[in-house]
Structure 1
Amino acid sequence: MTPPRASGQKAVPTTPGRTVPARRVVVVGGGISGLASAALLAREGYAVTVLEQRDQLGGRAGSWERDGFRFDTGPSWYLMPEVFDHFFQLLGTSADAEMELIKLDPGYRVYSEGHDEPIDLLADREANIALFESIEPGAGDRMRKYLDSAADTYAMAVRRFLYTTFEDLTKLAAPDVLRRLPKLARLLLQPLSTFASKAVRDRRLWQVLGYPAVFLGTSPYAAPSMYHLMSHLDLADGVLYPKGGITEVIAAVERVARREGVTIATESPVEQILVEDGHVTGVVHRDATGARHTLPADLVVSASDLHHTELHLLGPEHRTYPEAHWRKRDPGPSAVLAYLGVDGPVPGLLHHTLVFTEDWQANFGAIFGKDRHVPDPASIYVCAPSLTDDSVAPEGTSNLFVLVPLPADLSIGKGGIDGAGDAEVERIADRAIDVIAERAGVPDLRDRIRVRRTIGPQDFADDYNAWSGSMLGPAHTLAQSAFFREKNVSGRVQGLYYAGASTTPGIGLPMCLISAEVLLKRIHGDTSTEPLPTPLPSPVGSSRTAG
């Protein structure tokens, strides 16, 4: 749906063969997808304002500081580096120019219940193949084929499925897709857990291949095996870390947005998207003083949670996805998070450490099954960025970010500072800390904690308007992936578009960056499937000023 040009407005040239009118855009939400969308639209000549409800940008990828400790509040893995670099190249720069990237080697450590020794996954494909062979003789050759398939599937996904609006499905009937149809059918219909079990038999190795489903907000028993492509990202490409943490990624995207002339306002919650005669006309928002304002717009891009946008910012007659729609969808998991500032080292941990329970059927069944409840014992993820980066913790201390995946259940409650959260949230955090203490060989870990803050499902709902308190966004089950996922354009309101984890292509920082480019394609009626050529040219005669 290409928005009509208003009378008397001058079109400005953009990429070859395309023009857009210089018009007003309001972007709702200053997370990574909102900032990226704003930057790309401003590059094309739009006058863009970003309205963020909180006092800082980044959304879930925020930052919290106390007593010299600085914590990333959400995402902590930097995968798919070429996606970040491509985004920055669209705007005439690069990831290396905007951030200091460090390759982690080992990339991460895995503890599996029932085994004392961890497995360290390395930064090199061949080294990881040799590692799998050393643990399970014969697995090396199978893993080589598995990773070949993962690389091929990933390349095809980037070429055909990630950078498209799915507006023209005939574009998917390309020769490279048609040749792979039998394989694609198997990958879509078979769960990742089953597919991985054909490559390895050792439970620890099988868990290494299955856990990336959590990045997709789902279970290895529910994720289509097409997502085995994720193993290409960590076992072949390796894991990077931006010096200063993921908050530096947000700062870099904000920086390029401001260079393109984007105006950004924090503490400006949007209360209503205005619609007149079927076309968006602006938004109503509050400012930092609480005063109410109407901001006119020719286009509105909501990079907020789509459930919130549809049910709380639009009237019933303007909803593409009403309440009945969401009753049939899966919000994905929530979590309890704990930010811990600890005196002294925590040996036994790497920058990224995963602690897996033995019974994954029970663990994932508790989170995603019909009878959803808090798993106990639970699998745990720990990030210790102070092992890589001395800027995130005072000298002689450790910075720990702990994540316990849970069902999206608001009744679990809210977190708090220094144990002041709801009882269930603090209990879950205490249990996780005890597991870490045992695995890391630090029996007095609790006594050495000098900064503690917890986050629960209700915090995700309150702070980010997250549907059911989800920590990531709608799960990537088959019915919620690719062209089955909610579209990035309103079906009821002209000029209203969506970006971020709720829409295509999905959840995670790289997907949210791609969603900004898919938004640009949607506005232009561009049904191509590949990433746009770089850089995007600036409109003729434009000037860039900081907002």
Structure 2
Amino acid sequence: MSKNIHIIGSGFSAISASCYLAKQGYNVTVFEKNSTLGGRARQYKQDGFLFDIGPTWYWMPDVFERFFADFGKKPSDYYHLERLEPGYQVYFEENSSITIPGTLEEIFQIFEDEEKGSSKHLKTFLDSAKANYEIAVLDMVYKPGISPLELVSKQTIARVSQFFSTIRKQVRKKIKSHKLIQILEFPVLFLGAKPSNTPAFYNFMNYADFGLGTWHPVGGMHKVVEGMVELAKSLGVHFEVNAAVDKIITDKNKIVTALMVNGKEIKSELVLSGADYHHTETLLDKNLRQYSEEYWSKKTFAPSSLLFYVGFNKKLKNVEHHTLFFDTDFDVHAKDIYDNPRWPDEPLFYASFPSITDASFAPDGKEAATFLIPLAPGLEDTEELRELYFNKIMTRLERLTNQDVKKSVIFRKSFCVNDFVEEYNSYKGNAYGLANTLFQTAFLRPKIKSSKVNNLYFTGQLTVPGPGVPPALISGKIASDLIIKKQH
């Protein structure tokens, strides 16, 4: 049995796997190319302001609880959670927004106020979503994606039609209000695909939204990273930062024998990569790569993003911790991402104002804000385009929330396609991985175990189960289980 395992990258999936492997007695070393741990979930600090560079939403708290429970721990041993009340706000046009409260009864009332009779349909929809959540999250998503038979059970056979219908069809069957439709279609955007391409079974994301609620780790999402790293270190995991893996070296038997790290050869017995899957394969000799450039080019990738981290010199009005700006045509923007990749003329965008909830994010009387515009991966990325789009969304923010904000900007930092490539070796600068469409689900995703290199494994958002922080924790468990099984 190989006792020494090297992990490439330190995102959520890699840290998760490191914990499970160390618990089984492996000597685990994690190599992180950047100067801080957490992969995309790093932080940026400036002038007393704090920003989560990557994920800002904490959904599916049960997945985090399940992860820590596997080590006899609880999330509260490492960080403090607050349930957001309200969960989030959605702007549609001037003087028109809907705020999603924290309880189901209040949500039903919001729907009923907007469209008479819709709360009855929402209840039925959420009953289905809850049942699907229990099947998916308690069972299906923990499967390794090796065989189609993993998807076959009494419950999935009974729901087979949901895999061949879409969220869009399901939502629009009974509810007519354009605003309510957009609210119900929004959660699947976390899966990286259009509602019209996402199987109806994935309505479990709506249960994650309305049923389980939106949470905030005090101090930000990086507190989750810190907690997981603390757990990993207590189990004996060793972390090395500023450690870029340049090459995966194999012998004539197609077995990894060493890694080149910062130009230095380090002997290796088994490698798990939590780095970008496509990038990791480029570290191998060409004949050992499972997937060709043509394969990757034909895949549906989740969007990239243009992000702005902004410090304001005052508190903002008429916004919530999480605020969505759906005041333009979603379908037009979606086509610009998935069908005909281009910079959108009038993009939807999302904003996080964590300092509304958490004083640690901004100095007293000031506001920290993160703005995100979803984009097609691989687009041209220039400072001029970033400037243009910052002005677009600031103009809309002012108009929709009825306040002046441009003059209150102290500083801003941007992050876009080029940065995703540079910082994370991300394929075409995608932000979330491979979209969860019907033909990119479960066993149809890139494999966790390399079929060409005997002791090379993968974890993260390009393999099972898919994009998002909770799936990343699960991916780490799946990969480690597969390694442990193969090694014994």
Q: What TM-score does the superposition give when structure 2 sets the normalisation length?
A: 0.97
The separation in 2 between residues aligned to 1:488 and 1:252, in whole angstroms, is 25
2: distance between equivalents of 1:361 and 1:476? 18
SS at match of 1:49: strand
The runs of 5 or more residues in structure 2 that have no matched partner are none
Check whether the contact 1:160–1:172 (CA below 8 A) recurs between aligned residues: no
Letter in 1 for 2:111: F
Q: Deviations over 1:372-421 (max 9, x none)?
A: 211121111000000000011100100000001111124124xxxxxxxx
Q: Which amino acid aligns with 1:404?
A: I
Equivalent in 178, 186, 205 of residue 203 of structure 1: 178
Shift of 1:171: 4.5
Return the alpha-carbon distance in structure 2 between the equivalents of residues 524 and 46 of structure 1.
9
Correspondences of 1:490-505 after superposition (within 5 Å): 490-505=450-465
Q: Secondary structure of 1:411's partner?
A: coil
**What is the CA distance between 1:165 and its match in structure 2?**
0.7
Shift of 1:359: 2.1
| Distance across 1 between alignment mates of 2:150 and 2:333 | 40
Q: Identity across aligned pairs (percent)?
A: 31
Q: What residue number does 2:108 align with?
A: 129
In structure 1, the residue matched to 2:307 is: 337
Q: Deviations over 1:146-199 (max 9, x none)?
A: 000000111111233200113354454333333x1xx332x2222222211124
Matches within 5 A, 1:23-34: 23-34=3-14
| Distance in 2 of aligned mates of 1:210 and 1:435 | 22
**Partner SS, residue 410 of structure 2:** strand
Name the structure 1 match of 2:357: 388
- Amino acid corresponding to residue 151 of structure 1 in structure 2: K
Match of 1:275 among 250, 261, 265: 250
Give matches, 1:145-544, under 5 Å: 145-178=124-157, 180=158, 183-185=159-161, 187-276=162-251, 277-286=253-262, 292-310=263-281, 312-369=282-339, 371-413=340-382, 422-443=383-404, 445-525=405-485
Q: 2:36 & 2:132 partners in 1: Cα distance?
A: 37
Q: Describe the SS at the equivalent of 1:162.
A: helix
Name the SS of the counterpart of 2:248 in structure 1.
Answer: strand
Distance 1:144 1:380, change over 3 A: same
1:458-516 deviation line (CA, Å, top 9, x unaligned): 11111111110101111111111222111111010011000111110011110100001
Could you tell me which of 75, 79, 83 is aligned with 1:95?
A: 75
Task: Give the SS at the match of 2:195.
Answer: coil
Consecutive aligned runs of 4 or more in structure 1 exceeding 6 Å deviation: none
Distance 2:304 2:149 in 1: 36
**Structure 1 gap segments, 5+ residues each:** 6-20, 287-291, 414-421, 527-547
Supply the RMSD in Å over aligned alpha carbons: 1.4
State whether residues 328 and 347 of structure 2, in contact with CA within 8 Å, keep that contact through their aligned partners in structure 1: no
1:39 Cα deviation from its structure 2 partner: 1.4
- Structure 2 CA distance, aligned partners of 1:491 and 1:27? 18
* Partners of 2:39 and 2:152 in 1: CA distance: 37
State the partner residue of 1:545.
none
Q: Distance in 2 between matches of 1:343 and 1:388?
A: 17
- Secondary structure, aligned partner of 1:36: helix
What is the CA distance between 1:239 and its match in structure 2?
0.5
SS at the partner of 1:150?
A: helix
